[in-house]
Amino acid sequence: MANKDIDHRAIEKHVKEINKAYQRAARKYPVTVPVTGKGFTISAGIIGVGIEQDPQIVRLLFWLGEQPRQGFAAQHAYAEQSAVPLEDVQVLAHALERDGLIDSAGVFGEDGAYRVTADGRVELRRLTQLRSDPAARHRYATDAFLRWLYTTAHDQHPTAFLTTAESHFAGDELSGTELHYALARLIHSGLAEDAGTEPKTVAITIDGIDCVLSGATVSDYLNRTRPGDYYSINGTNIVAGSQAKVEQHNHNNAFDPSAMREFAALVQQLAPTYGMEPAQQAELVRDAEVLAEEASSETAQPGRIRAAFDTVMGGLAQIGAASAGLDLTMQHGQQALNTVFGG
């Protein structure tokens, strides 16, 4: 007769392995919870994409959040204070109500009056925390500035962006320094270019237009997997599907270190802002150049790239004085590491 005893220890071990796998997947691919009828996604985490992408709707939510806890505030009062047309305020309020972030007084009070719900208070807390995330602010500034360039369709003075509603992230104004960092990234990546005029103006490039039209973020667009050539292999014959000339390279096309090159370039550009001694700054720049060379090699070696990356990050960690530029660089480095080697 077969042994029907249940190996509980083996089952428990298997369950633990499954739980660990789910936890790793959850960290690598954060889950977002869609809200019925909403154009945005209320994220379960701080860094998820939500209503912070719409400065107008965030401003209204924060204004309502400043009202007495149990009191309702009228739409026309906000329209008068913010100089936003009442018709636009009504649309914004409807979107917030539909998402469950605010309640309408309805038949129980003044028509067109609202107050923040419990879910709205949770969203306000998330937005407040998001304001202090340097990486999130940088990503938004880069995306918003590029979209603004596309919309204006002309050479523009960069600081003109700071006068627009889009220059607010999670209800907070972007600074001139943050705009400078965003512009530096766009120019280095070839999505924008200096028009060479005086005073300085910038213009969107063809690649920048492609990025906007793709609907992807700047980070996703730059880190996208580029399609390679395809081949038909039949016995000893190889037919190139997209090129008549075939060159063989003995490296793994799936390994894309482009994010490391972008990080190295950012370190070289912002090094003068870190407040280091000249010798320390020169050493950091040399280390960043080594990282860029390793990541640009046709036979890029993951081990050599990782070692060069660790050297650069070690140099950044030794900088005593904290600064917005340093925080931004460290965040960008961690993002590059996760992109190239997996989080």
> Smallest Cα–Cα separation from 304: which of 315, 313, 293, 314?
293
pLDDT of residue 162: 92
pTM for the structure as a whole: 0.52
The answer to whether the beta carbons of residues 117 and 101 sit under 8 Å apart is: yes
The answer to whether the beta carbons of residues 181 and 269 sit under 8 Å apart is: no
How many whole angstroms separate alpha carbon 130 and alpha carbon 150? 26
**Tokens found for residue 126:** 């998330």
> Smallest Cα–Cα separation from 190: which of 288, 293, 261?
261
Give the DSSP letter string of 263-325.
HHHHHHHHGGGS---HHHHHHHHHHHHHHHHHHH-TT--HHHHHHHHHHHHHHHHT--S--HH
The answer to whether the beta carbons of residues 261 and 240 sit under 8 Å apart is: no
Q: With 0-12 CB in 10 A as exposed, 13-18 as middle and 19+ as buried, what is 63?
A: middle
Per-residue pLDDT of the chain (343 residues; tens, 9 = 90+): 445 555 656 666 555 555 555 555 554 444 443 333 344 444 434 344 578 878 889 999 999 988 876 678 899 999 998 888 999 999 999 999 998 999 887 644 456 889 999 999 999 999 998 888 888 899 999 999 999 999 886 678 888 999 998 898 888 899 999 999 999 999 888 899 987 777 788 988 988 888 898 888 898 888 874 444 444 444 444 344 444 444 444 444 467 888 899 999 889 888 888 888 888 888 999 999 999 998 888 888 888 888 889 889 888 888 877 777 788 888 888 888 888 877 5
